[in-house]
Amino acid sequence: MINWRLVSRLATKRINSPIHFISRSCPLHSIHLLGRREVRTVTSTSHGSGSRCLDPTSQLSAFPTVIGGSVEADDKLLRTVFDTPASTHEFLSPSGATAGSPGLLMNSKLQSAKSLIQFAGDTLISARKVTNRILSLNDSSEQSLRGAIRLFDRLSDMLCRVIDLAEFIRTVHPDPEYIAAAEYAHSYMMSYMIELNSSSELYDVLRRVMDTPSVASSLSKEENIVAQLLLYDFEKSGAGLDKTVREEVMSLQHDISSLSRDFMTGIAPEYNSVEIDIKDLYGLDPMAVSELRRATAAKNDSSGFQYLKRSPSFARRRSDGPSKDALEAVQKVTMPTTGPIARMAALSVKSSEVRKQLYIEGRRSNARQVEILEDLLMARMRLANMMGSSSYAEYQLADKMARTPEAVKNFLDNLAIKTRPGAQQEIDLLKNLKKKSDSGNDEFYAWDRDYYMSQYTDLTKPRVKSYDFLNSYFSLGIVMQGLSRLFTRLYGIRFVPRETPPGEIWHEDVRKLDIMSDNGSTFGEQRVGVMYCDLFARHGKPRSPAHYTIRCSREIFSEEFHDGLDPGNRDIPTLVTGGLVYQVPTIGLVCDFVSKNEHGPTLLSFGEVETLFHEMGHAMHSMLGRTAMHNISGTRCATDFVELPSVLMEHFASNPDVLALFARHYETERPLPPQLLEASLAQRAAFRYNDTYTQIEMSLLDHALHSITPSSGSSGGIDSSAIYYAVEHQYSLFPVVQDAKWQGMFGHLVGYGAVYYAYLLDRAIASLVWDRVFHSGKEGGAVSREAGERFKNEVLVWGGGRDPWECFAGVLERDEFSSGGEKAMEFVAMGAGEQVAGTWR
């Protein structure tokens, strides 16, 4: 029986657990089952003994293989469903389960918010059965041990089946009852996962598997990889330690979790506003000044000021407010130090003193926030020391591509060497502009950069009448068409819109796509994945774009059809390929595109086009990865490798061969004039080195804060401000502001502690892959099936089932880098060089 009283206590607060970098997969991917490497082909027979050539249609609800409708008709429909309201589509239905509903997200168990809780309870019962089966192996024969790794992996899949689902629902569902139920289910399953994470009994079973030669040698390559990963993660969490030490480790982990929440909650400047004379706000939008004056005159109405901090739009302000006399009496306004108006002021206010004041106050952390950060850093260092590592960076990097703190530092230094000259040239350009407009003043400060960048942009903006209408060539439907056409050429897959019966989706704006492939089947085109696209902004929905794994791909082994451990997998959609049965991956793609076109389709800025291409890179990783094991499926790979497919996709967005596939005016069908995009890209690239160099500095700060060792820290604790200023003095392009204490505002220190460099590394690798595979001088290389198959076969299909350096070496055909190491990291930094510089979203 499930103790729902215990659950109700757990459900009252949301667990902030680590999540894979950028991709939204299961928070812990189960019992330390984080997942990484290996599997060459989807039809490989080297996954272990036993026949998998089954007829799944008699036991599982396999998808139909052949889908009706022509490719041309589906292509037209794809544009239509994204460019016109849902109410105009007969086959699109809003949410609201009815009798015979397929259930939310095609899960027949999810007919209501209450049923989500029941689904979590039923899954927990099955998970406990699998856990007990694993524990029973400690006293069983060697023959029985041969199936242990599959059971571990299956347990991981069960837990993620609820945790991933609940994470997605609580993020995007508009119904408070569903949100509450998802919080409830997520918290309870996470509680059980944490219990498993500290289980020495499970660790003993795994240790016995790996210490029994006849069993270890019989494991398939994937099973061995998963076993090694499980063993590493168990030991990293202290499972192999004696009880006293293990309890201390668990206490430290609890402290780290608590401090992380406190730090994220406390991210705010010491002072949230400053007083500024209205006459000193010359250059700021008069409407913004008017709103500041109104908010200041109505200080007793706190909602006015809070609104200014939250939203850049003034259209929804209340019509009532202070009297005319009260407004005219205001000579000093209360200016927020962060938020949209503060950013607007940084770009437009002429007064250097005002910009300086806002810059410093907007980056100054309070003493308590800095203290929390230093406690967190100390707790992480102590945990690393207890686990045998000298620093938290060393502890975190052992299973990453970089492997050592020294390799990360060298990589960042090499990248800084390649990037700084370009960044300095950009600053010199702005210095000259300041000299001309500020009586020859030679000093250039950090608070000058954004202002003079904005001035330079205005001065150099092309005077082309149609410049501001670049988005007319990128309606959402047209871009989705383009992505489908691109993936057809690269990978042989395409997007097909599908009807959504009542109850399957959570909002009428959601669109469902089947991902169809022309590969891997003797029966013709197959459905290899399902994607739910929730791309439009709405009240209460998160603004950040994201890719969520709702259900990952994995092989369903023959014994699962008969052992009765998991009745819940009976209606999971499946794919049959090469005689093997796989779960069909299901993902959610979330954006917050806002339609500014009342009588037409949603038109995207080019930055939004890049965002959509980026998230589709994650989606292809999930869809095309075809591993037998859950733990190494799709985006379940090394943190500093997972962004490669998504960052690579950004390169495609501006390629002429790719744009020729789709970019055309939404009304006239006129193709995109090349000069229109070139002008926009040229402006965006004007300060690309500064953007990248800023990321390098932030990565160096993260690295320095997490490279502290007991010998390097003072007896009184960690001085994060001293470390921050040391990094600034060594690397900053501007005079250092000594009293800012910005490290207390650096939220990524929690989620990406010691691995913030990862996005830079993947950006560098993506630049190399783009130049040498897709943009290698061959005509049409960016839309070449040969290049696409090369990237798919060397990177995407493996998920986390292959060492990332082997993927890197394979796709670049540079075998000497297959083992990684400092030379490989140096090659990436120096080889990518200037190409890694770019705009950062």
End-to-end CA distance of the chain: 48
CA distances from 606 to 456, 644, 654, 744 (A): 20, 21, 9, 33
Task: Round to whole Å and give the CA distance between 21 and 763.
Answer: 14
Task: Round to whole Å and give the CA distance between 774 and 776.
Answer: 6
**Cβ 357 vs Cβ 381: under 8 Å:** no
Amino acid at 113: A
Whether 222 is a known active-site residue: answer no
Query: For residues 704-731, b (16+ Cβ closer than 10 Å) or e, as one string?
Result: bbbbbbeeebeeeebebbebbbebbeeb
Task: Round to whole Å and give the CA distance between 373 and 376.
Answer: 5
Q: What would the two tokens of residue 230 be?
A: 């499980």
How long a stretch of residues is the chain?
841
**Helix H or strand E segment including 340:** helix 340-348
Q: What would the two tokens of residue 193 be?
A: 């996962």
Q: Virtual CA dihedral for 532, 538, 543, 545, nearest 10 degrees?
A: 20
CA angle 675, 677, 678 (to 5 degrees): 60
| 749 Cβ contact list (under 8 Å, min separation 6) | 263, 373, 376, 702, 705, 743, 756
Catalytic residue among 38, 615, 697, 794: 615
CA distances from 660 to 39, 478, 628, 657 (A): 35, 12, 38, 5
Annotate 237-286 with three-state secondary structure: CCCCCCHHHHHHHHHHHHHHHHHHHHHHHCCCECCCEEEEEHHHHCCCCH
CA angle 46, 47, 48 (to 5 degrees): 95
- Closest among 800, 816, 817, 801 to 765, alpha carbons compared: 817
**Cβ 116 vs Cβ 169: under 8 Å:** yes
Helix axes of 644-653 and 758-769: crossing angle, nearest 10 degrees: 50
- Closest among 348, 757, 310 to 539, alpha carbons compared: 310
| 560 Cβ contact list (under 8 Å, min separation 6) | 154, 566, 569
- Tokens 């939250």 found at: 310
**Helix H or strand E segment including 511:** strand 511-517
Pairing mode of beta strands 586-593, 526-536:
parallel
Q: Is 664 helix (H, G, I), strand (E, B) or coil?
A: strand
**Cβ 556 vs Cβ 568: under 8 Å:** no
Helix axes of 405-437 and 446-460: crossing angle, nearest 10 degrees: 60
Q: Can you name the residues that pair with 273 across neighbouring β-strands?
A: 336
CA distances from 648 to 315, 611, 655, 795 (A): 38, 12, 12, 12
Query: For residues 239-261, b (16+ Cβ closer than 10 Å) or e, as one string?
Result: bebeeeebeebeebbebbbebbb
Q: Is 328 helix (H, G, I), strand (E, B) or coil?
A: helix
Active centre residues (catalytic): 615
